[in-house]
Amino acid sequence: MPAPLGKTPTKKMPKIDVLGIDDSASTRSAVRFFRERRIVVRFVDLRKKSMTPAELRYFLDRLGPALLEVEGIAPVTAADFAADRGKLIARIHADVRLLNLPLVRYGDAVTAGQDEATWRSWLARRNVPAR
């Protein structure tokens, strides 16, 4: 991980949460993307602190099946997604790797996976230099 920036963000800096796994290359890349632009991010390692069911439902409602599109892991089918949400949430809590990481939240907007184009548009809206 890059060296952390100061703990006190200014008013110009957006509040960005990155949820992922510490040893994931895509998660490290997302954190690096924002830190290179001098944005303080709140990083949550999902192996150390799991998401609450309400927070997981929020991401499921916002992103739908795109939240669970991960290659190389036991796939979650559309039927699984449309069926019982409680079983799906329990399955995700059992294996965080089912999620398309990193999950990045900026206000009400969320993304799953590497989505630098969207992140750049968030920064452009806030008039933060996107390099």
| Each residue's pLDDT tens digit, 93-109 | 888 888 888 999 998 89
Residue 2 has pLDDT above 70, yes or no: no
**1 domain-assigned:** no
- Convert the pLDDT of each residue in 37-96 to its tens digit: 888 899 999 989 988 888 888 888 888 777 876 665 555 665 666 667 777 788 888 888
**9 domain-assigned:** no
Q: DSSP letters of the chain?
A: -PPP--S---TTS--EEEEE-TT-HHHHHHHHHHHHTT--EEEEETTTSPPPHHHHHHHHHHHGGGGG--TTS-PPPHHHHHS-HHHHHHHHHH-GGGS-SPEEEETTEEEES--HHHHHHHHHHTT----
Domain count, the chain: 1
**73 domain-assigned:** yes
Q: Give me the CATH number covering residue 76.
A: 3.40.30.10
**113 domain-assigned:** yes
